[in-house]
Chains A and B, each alone.
Chain A
Amino acid sequence: MIRSLFIALILATTLLTACGETEDKEFYSGKTISVYVGRPPGSGADLAVRSFVRFWQEHIPGRPTMVVKNVPGGAGSRVWNLAWDEKNPNDLEVFFSPVSGTAVIVREEGLRADLSKLPLLGALTSPNMTYARTERLESADDLPNVKGLTFGGQGPAHRFSVLGRLTLDILGVDYNSVTGFSGSSEVFNALRRKEVDIQTAPLNFYRFTVEPSVVETGEVIPLWYNPIINANGEIMPLEAAGDIPSFIDYYESVKGEAPAGELFEMYKWLLPNINGIVYAAFLPRGSTAEATQILSESFARVTQDEAYRAEEERMFGFNLPVVSSTDGAKILDDMANAPDAVRRLLNEYIQEAR
């Protein structure tokens, strides 16, 4: 009798656990998840998120419908403020948008949200690189010796402007900085018109726009890519860069020594942070642990999905490096709690370009 009761108890427990699991897995069945993106319809970030979401909904148990809603504003910070201010989280709202690392570090006006306190579902990064016109450079190695080149960038606090200027300053290049272009395409147009000599831009932009039109004709040469460093300070391999050296390798090859100094220390600190996360997805504060787990696991599965990876390769020319949730959380925490010295130095550096 006792044995029968014991077996019945085990059976009941197993069945209940199974039911519970089924209920968890089916939580999203028949439901609609709103995915908020903080950029306008048709922007690069909007299209990238829409593409990801098409696959994401297939990987969530219960196959919910995911709809993308655009909430631009506050220079991209409104979407995070919405996540931060959400008072009645229902596990059906996801906030998936580009993260501006510099805005987080310098605590730009408008950003109220502390991203390190939001449940992170997953993150991707996107490498960037620097290239130059060849009119005054016979090879990439000539750069430190040429004077009066013009660097073109977006706003002074934009990560491409900051990284571009920093690398040129670390190398000791004599250049003029012109910032205030409204996007990578505008800088590139100015580069083609010979108004600008050097640009830092996303690697996919280089692959799709720059390489076929001006690199193959010899008008432009690649210089270096800014490496992605994980939260432990290790440089992540980047196959997509091909023969292009990382900035650190480039520096060593032209200067014959490892880079050093205050600016390089800032560069090293910034790399894992402003370069470490480019797209991130969060739930609002107070969302359930179950929803966080289901959505973060499914996010990770998408990044392994061959069909998604093929589409990503078509869109970007390579697969975006995935940021693990542990790394992502550490990066967000580091940015939110950046040392005062770093924050002050970065602010001053941005101020110089104004």
Chain B
Amino acid sequence: MLAGLALVLSWPTFGYLLLGVFIGMWIGAVPGLGGVVGLVLLLPFTFSMDPVPAFALLMGLYAVTSTSDTISAILLGIPGSVASQATILDGYPLAKKGHAGRAFGAAYTVSAFGGVFGALLMAASLPFILPVIFAFGIPEFLMLGLLGLTMVGVLSGGAVGKGLIVGLLGLLLTTIGYAEATGVPRFNLHTEYLLDGLPIIPIALGLFGIPELLEMAVKNTSISRVKMADESRGGMLRGIKDVLKHRWLTIRSALVGTYVGVLPGLGGSIVDWIAYGHAVQSAKDKSQFGEGDIRGVIAPESANNASRAGALIPTVAFGIPGSLGAAILLSALVIKGLQPGPDMLTVNLGLTFSMIWDIAIANILAAGLLMLLSRQIAKIAFLPAHSVVPGVMVVLLMGAWVATSSMGDWWTCLCMAALGYVMKQGGWPRSPLILALVLGTLIENNYQLTMQLHDGLSWMYQRPIVVIIEVAILVTIFLAARGLTRPKSVRARKKKDIPSPSQSLMSFLLSAMLLAVFVWAFLNAKGFEDAATGEFPLAVLTLAIPLTLFVLIRDVRACRGGIKQAGGTAPAITAASLEWQLPASMRFFGYLLVMLATTYLAGQLVSLPLFVALYARRWGNFSWTMSLVYAAASLLLVWGLYAQVMNLRLYPSLLFD
């Protein structure tokens, strides 16, 4: 193990590790990018390098992207990558309260801890990890997916019915495109884009990011709703103290992250949700989760960094990649002429330990560097909205473009933005949608495989791990139901969650629309020829339709009350549109639609700078000079970073092809 450390600290290996850390910090901070994109960009440069420095560069990058992706999650409510989706739930509310520094302090501390803990734990677990990996078969994966789904209750706040519907909508969205089991396309509206299903990043960016930017633009507020002077209340030191206070949660989350990261197919996309769910379920006082509870930042950030180490060991030692990032590292090993397997634990043990040290040291370096920068980064939360919105919108849209580089990504992002806006105004929780998107494919595929591999339902009671997970699911549902029905919490919730008339109206519109979508999907799914193609969507819709109908009826009643209270339908609609700030919101979407149309005509190199210039000048009241400078900077960003460095295919415009 010490020989591995000596290899990492030797020159130029340490230099490459530093370089990897710097690049990883930067890539992680840009929404939509992330570790996989970074690895692909760096991989060709490592072809001619020796293995130890090559892996220092790659591991340095890969280990820290899940640390720096916290920046956009906390500051903007935008998941920087798949690994930081759960962090936004409490990180962003903390920033809104002026506690961005505190959230950063806690996030970076636990990220460093999680990364080091995961690496060391994996090194210690090497002798017995293989049986653990193989103890989890397909039925166990199915049950783990279902266990994750019980988190919907946790993520729904007071609106459990709506949360369940949103979760079911998420599951339905995962059935778009080719069914894995049969290879038959579903719900793709005969479009090529939908054949592979909806990519998750444009959905997450649209659902969470654009509605927040819209609110900032319409209200002209900074991210933080409190003044900068109050930030001292929530400084970084407080975040570090929070970690010490919640040290057991930090350790438990790192444990969860390490061992879930080991399981192939689960990996980093689910681990933050499991850790978040654990934080909520193990807390005595749950009232602040979703409103800015620091434990909601500590748990996912500790887990997601630990999972990187967890995914590495089975990759190197057994040739079983735990995630796509790990699969690329596996390719890098092979290109270097190294064979994953027993050799990596004997002949090349020094290299294996050097990789573990790479992760540990990279995490400490990144956390330290980001802490140094945090004070300055946190100030973004206090900048005026109009100086932040256009630039972030460009980064967000290009982040969505990374998914498949087609206009479908932008349409997905915009449709989800509209849905996110309506959900926000109607008091519908948004997080269950992302959770269901992460879990839907996993659940359906493993269900289909389980039913093919096992006769009947004997697997449900003959496999010990399945039984343990079933008990965990039942306990989770029981606790959630008890929490909902306890008189004290019911009273508290009723007081807190009484919807305003405008909220009821928006909720009614949304539930009516969702009901129509579900009915259409049901009729469509009835037409699928093969049972395996239609089984899962039909099961989802069988639950979704009556539940949505129930919520719709409740919304109709609430709307009637609101109309009565407002003195008629017209005054109620007028009051609601005022509360929604409808004209300004429509204007914002109008800007985005014009930008989209301009892209079809002239491509992104024209449309995005034009959007920035027009927004800054007309909405932000910037001077022409400032607006043009801002536009030029965005042009440079799109051309330099996305077109040249990342070699993304930009849209071929009709005018300038």
Given the complex, which residues of A lie within 8 Å of B453, measured CB to CB? 150, 178, 195-196
**Which residue from A70, A176, A314 sits with its C-beta under 8 Å from B405?**
A70
Number of A residues whose C-beta is below 8 Å from B?
54
Report yes or no: A189 in contact with B40, Cβ–Cβ below 8 A.
no
**Interface readout for A155-169 with B: 1 if CB under 8 Å, 0 if not?**
111100000000000
Could you tell me which residues of chain A, from 51 to 70, have a CB within 8 Å of some CB in chain B?
Answer: 51, 54, 67-70
Known: A109-B185, A186-B265, A311-B47. A78 touches B649 (CB 8 A): no
- How long is the Cα–Cα vector from A34 to B178 in the complex, in angstroms? 28
Could you tell me which residues of chain A, from 40 to 57, have a CB within 8 Å of some CB in chain B?
Answer: 41-42, 44, 46-47, 50-51, 54
Could you tell me which residues of chain B, from 438 to 453, have a CB within 8 Å of some CB in chain A?
Answer: 445, 448-449, 452-453
B182 at the interface (CB under 8 A from A): yes
**Interface readout for A88-105 with B: 1 if CB under 8 Å, 0 if not?**
100000000000000000
Report yes or no: A72 in contact with B404, Cβ–Cβ below 8 A.
yes
A-B contact count (CB 8 A): 151
Known: A50-B43, A195-B137, A354-B183. A208 touches B649 (CB 8 A): no
**Interface readout for A182-209 with B: 1 if CB under 8 Å, 0 if not?**
1001100110110110000000000011
Closest CB in chain B relative to A150 CB, distance in Å: 7
Give A residues with C-beta under 8 Å from B: 34, 36, 41-42, 44, 46-47, 50-51, 54, 67-75, 77-78, 81, 87-88, 109-110, 150, 155-158, 176, 178-182, 185-186, 189-190, 192-193, 195-196, 208-209, 212-213, 311, 314-315, 350, 354
Chain A binder among B116-124, B157-165, B315-323: B315-323
Report yes or no: B406 in contact with A78, Cβ–Cβ below 8 A.
yes
Report yes or no: B192 in contact with A186, Cβ–Cβ below 8 A.
no
**Interface readout for B59-73 with A: 1 if CB under 8 Å, 0 if not?**
000000000000000
Closest to A70 in B: B405
Given the complex, which residues of B lie within 8 Å of A180, measured CB to CB? 180-182, 445, 448-449, 452, 532
Interface residues on B, range: 35 or more
Report yes or no: A213 in contact with B318, Cβ–Cβ below 8 A.
yes
- How long is the Cα–Cα vector from A78 to B602 in the complex, in angstroms? 22
A-B contact pairs, 7 of them (CB 8 A): A44-B331, A71-B404, A73-B192, A180-B181, A350-B183, A354-B181, A354-B532
B44 at the interface (CB under 8 A from A): yes
Given the complex, which residues of B lie within 8 Å of A54, measured CB to CB? 44, 47
Chain A binder among B166-174, B231-239, B335-343, B543-551: B335-343
- How long is the Cα–Cα vector from A54 to B343 in the complex, in angstroms? 29
Given the complex, which residues of B lie within 8 Å of A81, measured CB to CB? 192
Known: A69-B647, A208-B339, A212-B339. A354 touches B184 (CB 8 A): yes
**Interface readout for B188-223 with A: 1 if CB under 8 Å, 0 if not?**
001011011000000000000000000000000000
B39 at the interface (CB under 8 A from A): yes
Given the complex, which residues of A lie within 8 Å of B533, measured CB to CB? 354
- How long is the Cα–Cα vector from A46 to B340 in the complex, in angstroms? 21
Given the complex, which residues of B lie within 8 Å of A181, measured CB to CB? 180, 445, 449
Report yes or no: A75 in contact with B196, Cβ–Cβ below 8 A.
yes
**Which residue from B43, B319, B324 sits with its C-beta under 8 Å from A209?**
B319
Given the complex, which residues of A lie within 8 Å of B134, measured CB to CB? 192-193
Closest CB in chain B relative to A174 CB, distance in Å: 16
Chain A at the B interface: SS class: mixed
Report yes or no: B321 in contact with A185, Cβ–Cβ below 8 A.
yes
Closest CB in chain B relative to A25 CB, distance in Å: 26
Report yes or no: B404 in contact with A73, Cβ–Cβ below 8 A.
yes
7 pairs of A and B residues whose beta carbons are closest in the complex: A180-B181, A41-B40, A155-B183, A212-B341, A74-B192, A354-B182, A69-B649
Could you tell me which residues of chain B, from 270 to 327, have a CB within 8 Å of some CB in chain A?
Answer: 318-321, 324-325, 327
Given the complex, which residues of A lie within 8 Å of B39, measured CB to CB? 42
Known: A42-B325, A73-B193, A180-B181. A34 touches B335 (CB 8 A): no
- How long is the Cα–Cα vector from A50 to B180 in the complex, in angstroms? 27
Closest to A111 in B: B192
Given the complex, which residues of A lie within 8 Å of B648, measured CB to CB? 69
Report yes or no: B406 in contact with A71, Cβ–Cβ below 8 A.
yes
B36 at the interface (CB under 8 A from A): yes
- How long is the Cα–Cα vector from A181 to B264 in the complex, in angstroms? 13
Given the complex, which residues of B lie within 8 Å of A209, measured CB to CB? 319, 340
Closest CB in chain B relative to A291 CB, distance in Å: 18
- How long is the Cα–Cα vector from A109 to B196 in the complex, in angstroms? 12
B469 at the interface (CB under 8 A from A): no
Closest CB in chain B relative to A139 CB, distance in Å: 25
Q: Which residue, B264, B324, B340, B647, has most C-beta atoms of chain A within 10 A?
A: B647
Closest CB in chain B relative to A274 CB, distance in Å: 15
- How long is the Cα–Cα vector from A180 to B193 in the complex, in angstroms? 21
